[in-house]
């Protein structure tokens, strides 16, 4: 991909390794660093398209594996793609399905050709290949699409990781053979586990193919935070500076701050909606358990400084009541707040980068968030900013 | 209650027995006929306060029994009442708890003093009396509150119904002994099952107490539509013409049209949200089953003529997909449409009454809705308009 319209990534400010940028897509600009809410099955759980816009979502992730199996990519294409299907008119990114095939598909078998698996819905046998993944993503019509890769399990030996990432590189070449659509950009994915030699091979070969953006896969899959951040700190600065860098499947508040400091531009995670459904609200003082007995009598909002509809409308006591009563409004209202919290967090990170002062901001944020000295991995990461 | 501010009921138009009116309350005017969504536990299931306003809700029902047991009326009072607790700033009506005590309370025992029961939540013994019901409703802070009554089971003999309704009349006198709040109006409830002689006794004695409004209870509890409408057609016109008439627990579309024709002004029912959670959408052509295989490929909205957010954003196929995928957005989106459908239906009924032409409108609506000749009870009811 060239850096021509409709895809352009413009760096606007730096704070050490951290970057603030603007990623142009056919369906609108995406200020970075950016957190993407996850609409696995074409819906961010409990949240309407209008609310996504209102909480500040700028790029939404949808899942190739799930949508291919149900309702089928053809139905989505008949709606004109994901925006027409879901009612959310902004930019989308689709993952390639590789991760889900391997984590959800039963009786899966990885071969050079692709992955054979049985659908988790009805047991039907399916073959997902690099070519088919790209074709499905073309039918789904996202703005940004991902190469079909293998995300290896953790822990894995180099003897597993090396052939896996070499196959992933061959799969990437095959993805690039599929005639592209002009309104879609393909991202490659760097693998290699926590083995820096293998990361180097994967990164060098992936970058050599000259893609519109690069993702770091295979992290946050079970390794320690120290291992994850050691790998990230090595990998992120070696990716091309003029292309967006996407850290896949990561999105706890502390990770958004720490990985932004290391130069990551895009994030996705089910965390804000999943933890919201469990009754946890994200705040600068850490995660608030709305099921706790203390909350049942608190008349103030989750976060007095938050501008979301939940904080403007509801007390903690009311949210606690909704949870205990099993009301549908509870997961929805808490998820809405959590999405707003993460989007505001990204806005604050962007603003600190624009001032060239992310490190000081992140250290101060970390002290309040962890309620004590932040962990070593966090401190080390933010020193890059 | 006098007809003075803040409670005033102004009749604006008639079409035969049907009336269009405006009920003034301290928290705003309520155009009638009006359908009230039900927020049993202080939340209309899945719907936010903002959405309630947007779909056209003007008066919301909340449940004394449920809120008294959890979270307790005191917590609601600490929020300044139901508007502060729920985030919905408009008028509320609370039921008295009589119906739920008898249908949900375990090991209940009806005595002259009140009803002893065990909480369905924790088995704790509770005594609900007329005085306590009014006091709880004062703490909840609704604009309109209901007398504590017994809603007898169906079928019941006159030998059960008569002492029951006589006790309900004595309970009403006791409700009236509780010092009222100036910003709350008390409605009485006419009982008597489908026995018109007993209805006459209950109606005469209840009306003699000179209340702000009158409800018809004990219908839609298992009797046939013919029996229900025979009782309603007898009772409704005998209630004072200058006070609002509330048909409790009724709210299917065909009932809103038929009972409006008989002169009913207020309705409540869990139907739009409950049937929405089951995947059914209300339309002029009847109830649409979004789980049906036909809907899975339909690219159009539930109802092209509907102005709700669901119909403006989502296809039938997308809603069907959300249902099949078990997504939280499905019950929410369909409930939202159903509420909007019922509120629009009431607006259309009001408009037809204003033109003195409800009967013709209702006959035409009924033909489309029933998809055949409407049932006899419907035809008989709309002839009153």
Please state the domain extents for chain A: 8-269, 276-354
Per-residue model confidence (pLDDT) at position A117: 92
Cα B337-B367-B293 angle, rounded to 5 deg: 50
Instruction: Tell me the backbone φ, ψ of residue A16, rounded to 5 degrees.
Output: 65, -130
How confident is the model over B146-191, as pLDDT tens digits?
Answer: 999 999 999 999 999 999 999 999 999 999 999 999 999 999 999 9
Q: Tell whether A70 lies on the interface with B, counting CB pairs under 8 A.
A: yes
Name the average pLDDT for chain A: 96
How confident is the model over A250-304, as pLDDT tens digits?
Answer: 999 999 999 999 999 999 999 999 999 999 999 999 999 999 999 999 999 999 9
How confident is the model over B307-338, as pLDDT tens digits?
Answer: 999 999 999 999 999 999 999 999 999 999 99
Q: Do A328 and B331 touch (CB under 8 A)?
A: yes
Whether B255 has a pLDDT exceeding 60, the answer reads: yes
Q: What does the pLDDT average to over B223-241?
A: 98
Task: State what percent of residues in chain A have pLDDT above 70.
Answer: 99
Q: Is the pTM of this model over 0.90?
A: yes
In this prediction the ipTM stands at 0.97
Name the average pLDDT for chain B: 96
Contacts of A43 in chain B (CB under 8 A): 322, 325, 327-329
Whether B256 has a pLDDT exceeding 60, the answer reads: yes
And the tokens for B365? 């609506």
Q: Do A48 and B333 touch (CB under 8 A)?
A: yes
Contacts of B299 in chain A (CB under 8 A): 78-79
Per-residue model confidence (pLDDT) at position A4: 57
Read off the pLDDT band of B106 (50, 70, 90): confident
Per-residue model confidence (pLDDT) at position B4: 57
Q: Which residues of A are catalytic?
A: 95, 268
How confident is the model over A183-195, as pLDDT tens digits?
Answer: 999 999 999 999 9
Residues 6+ apart with CB under 8 A from B194: B154, B223, B227, B228, B230, B231
Count, residues in chain B: 385
Contacts of A321 in chain B (CB under 8 A): 41-42, 70-71, 75
Nearest CB to B332 within list A79, A324, A328: A328
What is the least distance, in Å, from the CA of A8 to any CA of chain B? Answer: 29
Whether B64 has a pLDDT exceeding 70, the answer reads: yes
Residues 6+ apart with CB under 8 A from A350: A20, A31, A32, A33
Return the bridge partners of A25, or none: A28
Q: Do A299 and B78 touch (CB under 8 A)?
A: yes
Q: Which residues of B are catalytic?
A: 95, 268
Per-residue model confidence (pLDDT) at position A16: 98
Give the C-alpha separation, B316 to B301, whole Å. 5
Nearest CB to A324 within list B70, B79, B296: B70
Please name the residue that has the structure tokens 């822990």. A155
How confident is the model over A168-177, as pLDDT tens digits?
Answer: 999 999 999 9
Whether B109 has a pLDDT exceeding 50, the answer reads: yes
Contacts of A37 in chain B (CB under 8 A): none
Q: Tell whether A107 lies on the interface with B, counting CB pairs under 8 A.
A: no
Question: Measured between alpha carbons, how far is residue B1 from residues B5, B7, B186, B239 in Å?
Answer: 10, 9, 8, 15
Q: Tell whether B246 lies on the interface with A, counting CB pairs under 8 A.
A: no
Read off the pLDDT band of B2 (50, 70, 90): very low
Read off the pLDDT band of B3 (50, 70, 90): low
Residues 6+ apart with CB under 8 A from B348: B361, B365
And the tokens for B358? 């409800």
Q: Tell whether A108 lies on the interface with B, counting CB pairs under 8 A.
A: no
- What's the topology of domain A8-269? TIM Barrel (3.20.20)
How confident is the model over A37-67, as pLDDT tens digits?
Answer: 999 999 999 999 999 999 999 999 999 999 9
Look at residue A3 and give its three-state secondary structure. coil
Nearest-Cα residue of chain B relative to residue A70: B321
Burial B244-275, CB ≥16 within 10 A → b, else e: bbbbbbbbbbbbbbbbbbbbbbbbbbbbbbeb
Q: What does the pLDDT average to over A93-105?
A: 89
Q: Tell whether B105 lies on the interface with A, counting CB pairs under 8 A.
A: no
Nearest-Cα residue of chain B relative to residue A69: B325
């Amino acid at each position: 991909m060239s850096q021509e319209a409709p895809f352009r990534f413009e760096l606007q400010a730096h704070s050490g390794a951290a970057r603030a940028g603007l990623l142009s897509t056919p369906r609108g600009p995406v200020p970075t660093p950016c957190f993407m809410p996850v609409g696995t099955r074409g819906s961010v759980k409990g949240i309407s398209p209008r609310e996504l816009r209102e909480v500040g979502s700028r790029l939404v992730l949808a899942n190739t594996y799930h949508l291919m199996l149900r309702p089928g990519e053809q139905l989505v294409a008949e709606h004109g793609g994901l925006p027409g299907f879901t009612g959310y008119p902004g930019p989308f990114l689709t993952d390639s399905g590789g991760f889900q095939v391997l984590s959800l598909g039963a009786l899966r078998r990885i071969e050079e050709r692709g992955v054979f698996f049985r659908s988790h819905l009805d047991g039907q046998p399916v073959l997902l290949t690099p070519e088919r993944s790209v074709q499905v993503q073309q039918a789904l019509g996202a703005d940004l699409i991902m190469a079909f890769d293998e995300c290896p399990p953790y822990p894995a030996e180099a003897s597993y990781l090396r052939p896996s990432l070499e196959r992933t590189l061959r799969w990437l070449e095959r993805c690039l053979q599929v005639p592209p659509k002009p309104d879609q950009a393909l991202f490659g994915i760097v693998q290699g586990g926590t083995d820096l030699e293998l990361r180097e091979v994967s990164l060098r070969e992936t970058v050599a193919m000259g893609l519109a953006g690069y993702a770091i896969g295979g992290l946050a899959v079970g390794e320690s935070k120290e291992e994850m951040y050691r790998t990230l700190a090595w990998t992120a600065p070696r990716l091309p500076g003029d292309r967006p860098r996407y850290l896949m499947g990561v999105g706890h508040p502390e990770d958004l701050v720490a990985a932004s400091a290391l130069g990551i531009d895009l994030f996705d995670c089910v965390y804000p909606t999943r933890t919201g459904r469990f009754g946890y609200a994200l705040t600068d003082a850490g995660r608030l358990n709305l099921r706790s007995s203390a909350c049942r009598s608190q008349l103030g909002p989750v976060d007095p400084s938050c501008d979301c509809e939940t904080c403007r409308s509801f007390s903690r006591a009311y949210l606690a009541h909704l949870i205990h009563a099993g009301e549908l409004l509870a997961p929805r209202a808490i998820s809405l707040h959590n999405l707003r919290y993460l989007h505001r967090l990204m806005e604050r990170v962007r603003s600190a980068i624009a001032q060239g002062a992310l490190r000081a901001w992140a250290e101060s944020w970390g002290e309040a968030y962890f309620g004590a000295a932040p962990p070593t991995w966090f401190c080390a990461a933010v020193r890059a900013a």
